[in-house]
Amino acid sequence: MNALRQSAPWRGTAWALGKLGLSGRSLVIAIPMLWLGVFFLAPFFVLGRISLAEAIIARPPYTPFFDRAADGSLEIIASFENYRFLLEDALYRNAYLSSIRVALVSTIFALLIGYPIAYYIARAPEPKRSILLLMVILPFWTSFLLRVYAWMGFLRSNGVINNMLISLGIIDTPLRMMQTDFAVYIGIVYTYLPFMILPLYANLTKLDGALLEAASDLGASPMVTFFTVTLPLSLPGIVAGSMLVFIPAIGEYVIPALLGGPDTLMIGRVLWDEFFSSRDWPVASAVAIVMLVLVVAPIMWLQSVQNRREER
CB neighbours (10 Å) of residue 181?
Answer: 19
Task: List all residues 6 or more positions away from 41 whose beta carbon is below 8 Å from its beta carbon.
Answer: none
Q: How far is the CB of 96 from other proteins (least distance, A)?
A: 12
Residue with Cβ nearer other proteins (53 or 70): 53
Q: How far is the CB of 51 from other proteins (least distance, A)?
A: 10
In order of 57, 74, 171, 282, the CA distances from 60 in angstroms are 8, 20, 54, 11
Q: Are 105 and 189 in contact (CB under 8 A)?
A: no
Residue with Cβ nearer other proteins (27 or 214): 27
Residue with Cβ nearer other proteins (184 or 291): 291
Rounded Cα gap, residues 106 and 142, in angstroms = 21
In order of 43, 235, 293, the CA distances from 283 in angstroms are 16, 40, 15
Using alpha carbons, select from 6, 51, 35 the residue that is nearest to residue 275.
51
Q: How far is the CB of 171 from other proteins (least distance, A)?
A: 16
Question: What is the DSSP secondary structure assignment for residue 55, as one 8-state letter?
Answer: B
Residue with Cβ nearer other proteins (238 or 271): 271
Q: How far is the CB of 71 from other proteins (least distance, A)?
A: 24
Q: How far is the CB of 74 from other proteins (least distance, A)?
A: 15
Rounded Cα gap, residues 140 and 133, in angstroms = 12
Q: How far is the CB of 186 from other proteins (least distance, A)?
A: 9
Residue with Cβ nearer other proteins (181 or 280): 280
Residue with Cβ nearer other proteins (59 or 70): 59
For every residue of 221-253, DSSP letters joined together read -HHHHIIIIIHHHTHHHHHHHHHHHHHHHHT--
Cis peptide before 139 (omega within 30 of 0): no
Q: How far is the CB of 84 from other proteins (least distance, A)?
A: 20
CB neighbours (10 Å) of residue 100?
Answer: 17
Residue with Cβ nearer other proteins (85 or 272): 272
Q: How far is the CB of 73 from other proteins (least distance, A)?
A: 20
Residue with Cβ nearer other proteins (71 or 263): 263
Question: What is the DSSP secondary structure assignment for residue 58, as one 8-state letter?
Answer: S
